[in-house]
Each structure stands twice: as structure tokens, then as C-alpha cells.
Amino acid sequence: MVTQSAGFKHGSVTRKENQLSPSERAITDLGIKSGLFRVDCTQDVKKDFTKEKLAGYDIVYFYTTGKLPIDEETLDYFINDWLKQKGHGFIGSHSATDTYNNDKIYYEMIGGTFNGHPWNAGSQITVTVHDTKHPAAKPWGEEFTIKDEIYQFKNFEPKNVRVLMSMNMEKTKQKAPYHVPIAWVKDWGNGRVFYISLGHQEDIWTNEKYMESVLGGIKWILRKEDGDATPNPDVSEKWNEKSKADAKRL
């Protein structure tokens, strides 16, 4: 799990008194409680994110910002070789999309790029779940409300991802006339990618459903549970039109 910040540093990745940050502690505890995985946390990619060390892992988890000091050769190997191998996967929380913002190789892999957060920290939103059968979305049910900082995206191609959850503008006070996906999955070669934009606030990392969602994503990547990654661009199109209509009802 990489929680290094080359840009804005979130409280959820801030270590205090040499202790693990809230997000690192949550994922570490999740591994222990589930008995499914172990976690190594780093905020030093120069030392720990190498081709040799990647060989010892099945999943890379980013809660990061900015242009990390990973050399180009290693980054290319990670995205275009290691991650495309069966059994390997990538998980990104929140600002993982605010990482390598202008690097096409990265945003094509993760599925989109941070493009502002009109919904600031503590904003209450309603989220609709489109695929209630997917392990990464099932814990949330069909709909839920949550308070967090919410991202909108650029470089987001609906034809390349399966959107699991979206903001429901009709039921959210602060509206916008466009689709705002909250989580998605995609295949990447023979590997798998799961991204969820929630996670700004520290209390998200003690939210039981959030942690169950992350665990579901991990099980899906490891092929412990089945989940569809077929792109669903029709969902983005439908919800873009719905959001436009909902925004007019202000």
C-alpha cells in the first residue's frame, strides 16, 4: 500500500508519532481480520517500489497524490507488464486519481483523472449502486448517503470501465448537470483495477461498509469472488442525462 504524497497530503495518510496513518491502519487490520492478505505500507517509493519488490505482491494499493518519484522504466513495467498479469491488481482510493495527472499511461490504467471537488469535505451526497452483485459494490446495497469530499473527473472514458456507483443528483442537495461516478472496475490485460473516490475523511476508514467494499474489491482481484467488469457506457450516458434533468429542478 503506497500512501506517499507528492501533492496535497490528506489526514487519512498522515502518520503521527511514527504510527500508521488511519488508512494504512484500516487496510492492515482488514488483512488481519479477514485472514486473506498481509499489507506492507510505504511512503518511500524510491526504496520500496521496484521491479524486484513488486515480484512479492499480488495487489498494489494507491492513496497518493502528485507525481511520485518512481522512475519511468519501473512505472512502465508496473502498468504495462506486472499489472497485466493474471492474479495481479490495482486498487485506488480517493486521490489515486490525483496522481500522475498528466501521464496518459497512468490515467488510462486507473480510468480517470481528478478534475476538482465541487463537493467539499463533509458534503452529504446520495449514491446509487448500479451493480449490486459485484463484490466491491454489494456491501452498499442499492442506495446510500454519505458525507465526504467528492471528486469529478476528466480523462474518464465510459467505454473502458464498468461504473459500479454514481452520485444521485436528484437526491443530493448540491447538484451538477453531469454524471459523477463514485466507483468503477475494469480489466487491464489479465489484471484487474478497482477505484473508489470516497476516502478523504478519516472517518471513512472506520466505515464498515467502506471496508467491506474494499475487501470485496480485493476478493474480486484475487478471483476469490466473481464480479463483472464488462464496460457499461450506457449507464454513464443515462446518468449524464438524468443529472442534467435533475440539476434543472433547482
Indicate which CATH number applies to the domain containing 69.
Answer: 3.40.50.880
Decide if pLDDT at 199 tops 80.
Answer: yes
Does residue 101 lie in a domain region? yes
Q: pLDDT value at position 168?
A: 98
Average pLDDT, the chain: 98
- pLDDT category, 249, cuts 50, 70, 90? confident
pLDDT at 64: 99
Instruction: Note the pLDDT of residue 250.
Output: 65
Q: What percent of the chain has pLDDT over 90?
A: 98
Q: What is the extent of the structural domain holding 102?
A: 11-247
In a domain, 6, yes or no: no
- Would you state the cell numbers that stand for residue 3, as one nine-digit string? 500512501
Decide if 3 is inside a domain: no
Q: Is residue 140 in a domain?
A: yes
Among candidate residues 158, 150, 95, the one with its CA nearest the CA of residue 121? 150
| Structural domain contains residue 4 | no
Residue 1 lies in a domain: no
Give pLDDT tens digits for 127-139: 999 999 999 999 9
Domain-located, residue 150: yes
184: closest CA among 211, 147, 219, 159?
A: 159
Q: Is residue 207 in some structural domain?
A: yes
The mean pLDDT of 180-196, rounded to a whole number, is: 99
Rounded mean pLDDT of 244-249?
Answer: 94
pTM beyond 0.95: yes
Number of domains in the chain: 1
- Give per-residue pLDDT as tens, 15-36: 999 899 999 999 999 999 999 9
Could you give phi then psi for residue 233, rounded to 5 degrees? -60, -25
Q: Residue 205 has what pLDDT?
A: 98
> What's the average model confidence in pLDDT over 30-50?
98
Cα–Cα distance for residue pair 26/77, rounded to 1 Å: 29
Q: What is the tens place of the pLDDT at every residue in 82-123?
A: 999 999 999 999 999 999 998 999 999 999 999 999 999 999
